[in-house]
Amino acid sequence: MNRIGVFGANGRMGLALLEAVSKKDDATLTGAYVRDNSPLLDIAVNQLNSAASADVSFSKETDVKDADVLIDFTLPAGMRNHLKTAVEKNIAMVIGTTGLNQDDLDALHEAAKHIPIVFARNYSVGVNLLLNLVQTAAVKFGDDMDIEIFEAHHRHKIDAPSGTALAIGEAIAEAKGWQHDEVARFDRSNDEHAKSQNEIGYSVMRGGDIVGEHTAYFATSGERLELTHKASSRMTFALGAVRAAGWLKNKPAGLYDMQDVLDLK
């Protein structure tokens, strides 16, 4: 039985994770962690999500114990502290936090010398298949194409473009032999020249309750290929993260991703 603890357990994604763990026969929820000053402390998790475990109450982030794997989809500032806790207690981590800067990524690599970590910008099986498909398209179309990525999320999402959109762009750049940061275009408001075919453009929408939509466009003269993934429920990502937690148990220290979990490499 895989014992799982969830950070940020009272958030939108946290509540979905609590339910997702309860859906798995080979997993059990041992911790639902919230901030030390949260009014939810000591309240049973099934009072917020009736589908979650009735045997666990919300507890402080500093009270981590009895877990084989910790799952974290919180904000970068929280993730940094949680990562330190996981290393100190020698517990594996599944991390879905987006909006990380280079220092955060460096910290992940350093922590992965001590504990096994799965870090992915998206835990959907469909999105991870999409990452493979866009690489195939990028290679087969050759250089005679324009590449654009569009993403849409709910109005509460802070980082833009989304981590998934960036992952799609990075996958395309890798297939083309480009350095992503050199070819990514996030703002054309001051451009005075036509679009180059040696770049990847990004556009973003924030509105309503959109869970997540991503489209990679490959446009050439006379035709256009659109590869799209649409998520209608956070449970898609939550179940993927719990699947990753099951895969990660007893793995050696190292930094893994969802492509490893799904054996897509």
The per-residue pLDDT for 25 is 87
82-105 mean pLDDT: 95
* Of 23, 109, 114, 153, catalytic: 153
The per-residue pLDDT for 54 is 74
Q: What is the pTM of this model?
A: 0.82
- Between CA 28 and CA 22 the distance in angstroms is 7
Q: Which two tokens stand for residue 33?
A: 């962690």
> 3-class SS at 147?
strand
- Statement: residue 150 has pLDDT above 80: yes
* Of 157, 195, 249, 251, catalytic: 157
30-45 mean pLDDT: 93
Q: Dihedral (C-alpha) 86, 92, 97, 100: value to the nearest 10 degrees? A: 70
6-13 mean pLDDT: 94
Average pLDDT, the chain: 93
The per-residue pLDDT for 153 is 97
Comparison of pLDDT for 61 and 264, the residue scoring more: 61
10-15 mean pLDDT: 92
Comparison of pLDDT for 51 and 64, the residue scoring more: 64
Q: Considering only CA atoms, which of 202, 119, 144 is closest in space to residue 168?
A: 202
Domain boundaries, the chain: 2-119+234-261, 125-231
CATH topology assigned to domain 2-119+234-261: Rossmann fold (3.40.50)
216-236 mean pLDDT: 94
Q: Which two tokens stand for residue 234?
A: 């956070």
Comparison of pLDDT for 54 and 42, the residue scoring more: 42
- Statement: residue 53 has pLDDT above 90: no
CATH of domain 125-231: 3.30.360.10
Contact (CB, 8 A) for 8 and 72: yes
Residue 153 appears among annotated catalytic residues = yes
The per-residue pLDDT for 264 is 82
Query: pLDDT tens digits for 54-84?
Result: 789 999 998 998 999 999 999 999 999 999 9
Q: What is the CA radius of gyration of the chain?
A: 19
The per-residue pLDDT for 178 is 97
Per-residue confidence at 249, pLDDT binned at 50, 70, 90? confident
The per-residue pLDDT for 120 is 94
Query: pLDDT tens digits for 161-189?
Result: 999 999 999 999 999 999 999 999 999 88
Residue with tokens 């949680």: 82
- Statement: residue 265 has pLDDT above 80: no
- Statement: residue 1 has pLDDT above 90: no
